[in-house]
Amino acid sequence: MKIYFAASIRGGRSDVKIYQKLIDFLNQDNQVLTEHIGNDNLSVTSQNQTDDKYIRDSDINWLKEADLVVAETSNPSLGVGYELGYAERLHKPVVILHNSTKSQLSAMINGTDYFKDIFEYQTVDEAIEILKNYRGIQN
């Protein structure tokens, strides 16, 4: 299965270690198209050196190719919100993981009927358990 993993980059990289653990888990039996999201070396500064249109077009192509979108939404991000809206437009299945001890999930996401698979977690182990038990992910 091809998975598009969405998480904050320019909105902040404070959760990159969580992203990496989630991506490592997903990559065990699937292909994460956006595994660079979990790279410690990917920073706001380094991403600003890449053309924005190139980044957007690459992400849209990966979204189209993906069988599933997994979004970590604890760190608010305009980009992740856009990606979720685009996934809805493409009718892609979406899993949203949100640590409610860090922030409140946007009403634009939580209030959208399309997003039915929204899961709250507090530890990365809990998030991995959620993914293990999700019916659409191969493990």
pLDDT (tens place) for every residue of the chain, 139 residues total? 999 999 988 877 788 999 999 999 999 999 999 999 987 766 555 455 578 899 899 999 999 999 999 999 999 999 999 999 999 999 999 999 999 899 999 999 999 999 999 999 999 999 999 999 997 676 6
User: How far, in Å, CA of 81 to CA of 108, rounded?
Assistant: 8
The whole-number pLDDT of residue 80 equals 95
Report residue 60 CA to chain centroid gap. Answer: 14
Dihedral, CA atoms, 66, 72, 76, 81, nearest 10 degrees?
Answer: 20
C-beta atoms surrounding 131 within 10 Å: 20
What does the pLDDT read at residue 40?
A: 74
Strands 2-6 and 68-72: parallel
pTM for the structure as a whole: 0.91
